[in-house]
Amino acid sequence: MPIYEYCCNQCCENFEKLVFGNKEVECPKCSSMDVTKKMSAFGMSGVEKPFAGSSSGCGSCSKSTCTSCK
């Protein structure tokens, strides 16, 4: 389900909202429609293998292999 993070430009309230389609989003604190969608960070902790389609086998640099990744 599409849950997005928003910040209200009027009262600076940060909130999450379940949004279907192109529905207008309203601040739950002040009811303003002047909100900005925030960029969400998708966290994956504990992942040891690179994801499909990733070009690098190394997690800490751009090289395909290095001593710090072993």
| pLDDT reported for residue 48 | 57
- Which CATH architecture describes the domain 1-41? Single Sheet (2.20)
Per-residue pLDDT tens for 12-65? 999 999 988 888 999 999 999 999 999 866 655 555 555 555 544 455 555 555
| pLDDT reported for residue 57 | 47
Q: Hey, where are the domains in the chain?
A: 1-41
CB 38 within 8 A of CB 6: yes
Alpha carbon separation from 43 to 5, 8, 20, 32 (Å, rounded): 15, 24, 23, 30
| pLDDT reported for residue 22 | 84
The answer to pTM > 0.95 is no
Which regions of 1-70 does DSSP assign to beta strands (E)?
3-8, 14-18, 35-37
Q: For the CA atoms of 54, 59, 61, 66, what is the dihedral angle to 10 degrees?
A: -110
Give all strands of the β-sheet with 35-37 in edge-to-edge order.
14-18, 3-8, 35-37
